[in-house]
Chain A
């Protein structure tokens, strides 16, 4: 039961003559494409665009917080900046990041299908995303919105004069885009698996995305209707959330978090899905406890719907319901712990190499462990009272979302870059950028845990001078982090032309996507593949490689 995998010699690799990239030419062939791979590329470009905007807003936030008074910008401006940072990063970057780019590209390849079940709906979902994005940008350019990404009523409905309805409409569109993506994935996974591809032979990447899709379909409509209610309350005063009309502002909190808590699992599950693939490939070993990892994704999706009230522990909810939600929150932490331990055990008796995706994956494991365990602080009722609404929360969710998800996203982008483009990224500089990102991240966000325990409230444009030292650390770290993110944006496009030619399977990974040419043909497979082995079967791969050498030789 042991396998030796040696990486192929890339000197002999050649770019295939025909691929999805050169099947057709011209803007129109991209904008009207039904090919999931081209749509993934469209998504990749658009979410990178929004990531840059969101990132620059984050830079402004950190600059403002360098000094205690609000001296760089007026408080109103600061409020708009952090609101737009949240809205853009969550709805236009984190939610679609892995599923709509990497997931879109890979799910048909991984299940052995020619495309997603509904290619035109897939294209529609990109257009909805772009429309949503443009509306949100319009809201920003026309004067911004300062509700925070949480749209808390009655602040958002009666007390602000900014473009709340416009921003809500943008999110509404972007929401439908993610519903359509989820729908497409679920139908594809159910109906379009190739012969022999049973549920338990699916790569864990597909399991993770399946769980994500369930949340997208069940959760997002609730957000959509909540935003419609906010817009109606603002425009025609229907009074659902207004206490003076017999409405209940807490109802908004319930509805909003009923989506927005599961939404954090929309953001992290696809990241976990990427990590399973990366860790397995670079330790040349099947993922330890395949079923446990697969079902833990589903468990997170299910339990994730039952914990929303932990955002409201100090909001005057019944103390006994707070008990229930605290308990359920403890339960949802367990599947994440299971995953972390299984990934660590996957390394055991592997044959590990340390390419860039693996470095990002290690970064993910470390930072997500901290992010996850600090979540226990907040699930613990008595501790939550002191920590909620402070920088502790900010640090916690940035550890999970930026330390976890963004690391996983970059791991995925580097890992599948050769498959998507047919060329390798430059290994040396990308390792440097992985390490710079990790260090920058720690320096930026670790001080925020301390600030949180000191009691510094979040969303403050100005703060008492006692908090300055830690804020300076945080801002310094943010500039390092910025370099870490800038580097891939430079060397990845560079590699499109100057990168080494990758060959079909540069990592010697086992997934179906690695057994075809890179970049793939528009129709993915020349003949329908038959799955005759388990997922992550490195012996099968070794035999296959040997056989190829023999027949060719």
Chain B
């Protein structure tokens, strides 16, 4: 190899070290996605070998030199049926297999820890319920189901973690969710995969999957002091929301206690579940879904509250729900029991929902 210049040689060595054709399997979903991928690769190779061997063998066997007379054949219904039904059957297997995985990735188990992510040109703003804020980074504990609730405050973005095999669009004006459970601690790529303007390729960051102990330490060290719900409570007061939503029976607005995830009767007789999306919509466009028994007098807050503020308000309203609070408490104790000694006295500062 002496005739290869040393610089080029170094390049080659460096490249080969960096060469990868397969991303790390760092989430519980990843092995399932990879199994499906290999099955699909197998199907592709089989199909390709089948077709190319037909073409190759016929080309050799029936070339003009060996087979000067073409035999005219009309076709064959049996063969047509064969190569209609067999591919169809195979494709349907993949349809079912893929659908099962899809529902798994997009429907988080009820006990998952929720993290809000707001996409904006050109950064990811992460809001942990405990009040930790991050930009272009996401710290999560391994071994816990995490639900990411996404929204964009400007254009379409897409939240992608290849090592976890998950991805979801962050859409302006609409919450979407994605779920994963990290398996291996490490540092993984976080990409925006939906073209979003000039610095699209700069909208990348890192996901830090940490052991529960490390996560606990990180969470304690990075909190801003107030949880999302506490921020929301402050905002609720400063915007004057409690003037109408005071909780009194005679108040002009409905009480917001225990409203989260409950079924609401609307003025037009229909019912809706008060999901995060409903709560957000009712702040921005209150007249679209007016609850029965109330006059449509609430003004719109469109353009007056940032997406972060809306998340705080939604979290505050959620914290007014007793079931939700209980669940949060259980999550919290789960984390506390998962770690013990190493963080010691600094630990309990991690604020969860309002007690």
A interface residues with partner B (beta carbon < 8 Å)? 1-5, 70, 75-76, 79, 146, 148, 150, 152, 154-155, 159-160, 243-244, 246, 248-250, 283-286, 288-292, 313-316, 319, 322-323, 326-327, 330-331, 333-334, 337-338, 340-342, 344-345, 347-354, 362, 365-366, 369-370, 373-374, 376-377, 379-386, 388-390, 450, 453-455, 457-466, 468-470, 472, 538-539
| Cross-chain contact A338 with B84 (CB below 8 angstroms) | yes
Q: Mark B48-72, 1 if CB is under 8 A from A, else 0.
A: 1001101100110011100111111
CA distance A511 to B51 in the complex (A): 27
With contact pairs A285-B72, A347-B59 given, residues A386 and B167 touching in the complex (Cβ less than 8 Å): yes
Q: Can you list, as one digit per residue, whether each of B74-93 has a CB less than 8 Å from chain A (1) or not (0)?
A: 11100110011001100110
**Residues of A contacting B168 in the complex (Cβ-Cβ under 8 angstroms):** 314, 316, 385
Interface-facing stretch out of B199-207, B236-244, B262-270, B332-340: B199-207
- Which of A160, A284, A314, A466 is close to B70, meaning CB atoms less than 8 Å apart? A284
- Cα–Cα, bound, A337→B89 (Å): 12
- Provide the residues of chain A in CB contact with B55, threshold 8 Å: 344, 347, 362, 365-366
Say if the beta carbon of B176 comes within 8 Å of chain A.
Answer: yes
- Interface assignment of B194: CB less than 8 Å from any CB of chain A: yes
Q: Is B198 an interface residue (CB 8 A)?
A: yes
> What B residues does A539 contact at CB under 8 A?
72
Interface membership of B94, Cβ < 8 A: yes
CB <8 Å contact, A344 and B58: yes
A292 touches B202 (CB 8 A): no
* B88: A residues at CB distance < 8 A: 330-331, 334
The answer to whether A380 touches B172 (Cβ under 8 A) is no
Does B192 touch A at the CB level, under 8 Å? yes
State A470–B201 Cα separation when bound (angstroms): 18
Give chain B's interface residue range (CB within 8 Å of chain A): 35 or more
0/1 interface trace, chain B 169-183, chain A, CB 8 Å (1 if under): 101111010000000
Determine how close the nearest CB of chain B comes to the CB of A356; give it in whole angstroms. Answer: 15
Given contact pairs A455-B23, A472-B15, a sample of 15 additional A-B residue pairs in the complex whose CB atoms are under 8 Å apart: A79-B197, A79-B198, A285-B71, A314-B158, A326-B98, A342-B75, A349-B62, A351-B69, A366-B48, A366-B55, A369-B51, A381-B102, A386-B33, A459-B195, A462-B202
**Taking the complex as formed, is B160 at the interface, i.e. its CB lies under 8 A from any CB of chain A?**
yes
Q: In the complex, are the beta carbons of A283 and B98 less than 8 A apart?
A: no
With a CB–CB cut-off of 8 A, which chain A residues contact B52? 365-366, 369
Contact check, A152 vs B195: say whether CB atoms are below 8 A apart.
Answer: yes
A289 and B76 in contact, given A3-B70, A349-B71, A453-B37 (Cβ under 8 angstroms): yes
Q: Which of A148, A353, A538 sits near B64, CB closer than 8 Å?
A: A353
One of A5, A75, A160, A389 near B158 (C-beta < 8 A): A389
B47 contacts partner chain A, Cβ-Cβ < 8 Å = yes
Contact code string B92-112 (vs A, CB < 8 Å = 1, else 0): 101101111111111100000
Q: Is B193 a contact partner of A322 (Cβ separation < 8 A)?
A: no
- Tell me the complex Cα distance, A250–B171, Å: 9
Please measure, in the bound complex, the distance between the C-alpha atom of A453 and the C-alpha atom of B20, giving whole angstroms: 10
Residues of B within 8 Å of A314, CB to CB, are: 158, 167-169
Q: Do A322 and B194 touch across chains, with their CB atoms under 8 A apart?
A: no
CB of A153, distance to nearest CB on chain B (Å): 8
Interface contact B44-A374, CB-CB below 8 Å: yes
Q: Which residue of A lies closest to B67 (CB)?
A: A351
Q: Considering the complex of A and B, which 3 residue pairs feature the smallest CB-CB distances, nearest first?
A: A455-B162, A382-B101, A243-B173
Does A469 lie within 8 Å of B198, measured CB to CB? no
Q: Number of A-B pairs whose CB atoms are under 8 Å?
A: 311
Q: Given A79-B200, A314-B158, A464-B204, verify A330-B167 contact (CB < 8 Å).
A: no
If A146-B197, A319-B103 touch, whether A469 touches B18 (CB-CB below 8 Å) is yes
Q: C-beta contact mask, B261-303 vs A, less than 8 Å → 1, else 0?
A: 0000000000000000000000001000000000000000011
In the complex, what residue of chain A is closest to B30 when comparing beta carbons? A386
Q: How far is the CA of A244 from the CA of B106 in the complex (A)?
A: 26
Contact A469 B19 (CB under 8 A): yes
30 contacts between A and B (CB under 8 A): A4-B68, A75-B202, A155-B156, A159-B197, A160-B197, A250-B174, A288-B75, A289-B76, A290-B74, A319-B103, A326-B99, A327-B92, A330-B88, A334-B84, A337-B83, A341-B51, A347-B59, A351-B68, A352-B64, A365-B51, A366-B52, A373-B47, A376-B91, A377-B44, A381-B95, A381-B102, A385-B168, A453-B22, A468-B15, A469-B16
What is the CB-to-nearest-CB distance from A426 to chain B, in angstroms, rounded to a whole number? 21
Q: Could you tell me if A243 and B172 are in contact, using CB atoms closer than 8 angstroms?
A: yes
Q: Contact between A382 and B191 (Cβ–Cβ < 8 Å)?
A: no
Q: Which of B69, B99, B200 contacts A2 (CB 8 A)?
A: B69
Residues of B within 8 A of A1 (CB): 71-73
- Please tell me if B224 contacts chain A, counting CB pairs below 8 Å: no
Which residue of chain B has its CB nearest to the CB of A373?
Answer: B44
> Is B36 in the interface zone, CB < 8 Å from A?
yes
- The CA of A289 and the CA of B75, in the complex, are separated in Å by 4
Given the complex of chains A and B, what is the CA–CA distance between A377 and B140 in angstroms?
A: 30
Q: State whether the Cβ of B165 lies closer than 8 Å to any Cβ in chain A.
A: yes
**CB of B194 to closest CB in A, whole Å:** 6
A285 to B175, CA, bound (A): 58
A246, B70: Cβ atoms closer than 8 Å: no
Chain A contacts of B107 at CB under 8 A? Answer: 319
Assess the A285–B167 pair: CB atoms within 8 A: no
A285–B72 CA distance with the chains assembled, in angstroms: 6
Q: Which residue of B lies closest to A293 (CB)?
A: B75
* Complex contacts, A243 vs chain B, CB 8 Å: 172-174
Residues in A with CB closer than 8 Å to B94 are: 330, 376, 379-380
Q: Give Cα A379–Cα B48 distance, bound, in whole angstroms.
A: 18
Q: Are B70 and A390 in contact (CB under 8 A)?
A: no
B226 proximal to A (CB < 8 A): no
Instruction: Tell whether B121 is near chain A: CB-to-CB under 8 Å.
Output: yes
| Structural contact, B74 and A286, CB atoms closer than 8 A | yes
Smallest Cβ distance from B78 to chain A, in angstroms?
11
Q: How far is the CB of B88 from chain A (nearest CB, A)?
A: 5
Give which listed residue, A150, A323, A331, A352, contacts B58 with CB less than 8 A: A352
Whether the Cβ atoms of A330 and B64 lie closer than 8 Å is no
> Smallest CB-CB separation from A386: which chain B residue?
B165
Measured CA separation A466–B302 after assembly (Å) = 43
B166 lies within 8 A of chain A by Cβ: yes
Interface presence of B136 (CB below 8 A)? no
- When chains A and B are docked, how far (Å) is the Cα of A330 from the Cα of B176? 26
- B18 and A382: CB pair below 8 A? no
Q: What's the Cα separation between A237 and B221 when bound, in Å?
A: 46
* Chain A residue with the shortest CB-CB distance to B44: A373
CA distance A30 to B198 in the complex (A): 44
Q: Interface centre among A350, A353, A468, by most B CB within 10 Å?
A: A350
Which residues of A are found within 8 Å of B99, using beta-carbon distances? 323, 326, 381-382
Q: Could you tell me if B51 and A348 are in contact, using CB atoms closer than 8 angstroms?
A: no
A349-B73, A353-B63 known; A376 vs B18 contact (CB < 8 Å)? no
- Are A154's CB and B103's CB within 8 A? no
Nearest A residue to B60 by beta-carbon distance?
A352
Question: With A289-B76, A330-B91, A337-B87 known to touch, is A154 a contact of B15 (CB < 8 Å)?
Answer: no
B135 proximal to A (CB < 8 A): no
A316: nearest chain-B partner, CB-CB: B176
Q: How far is the CB of A407 from chain B (nearest CB, A)?
A: 14
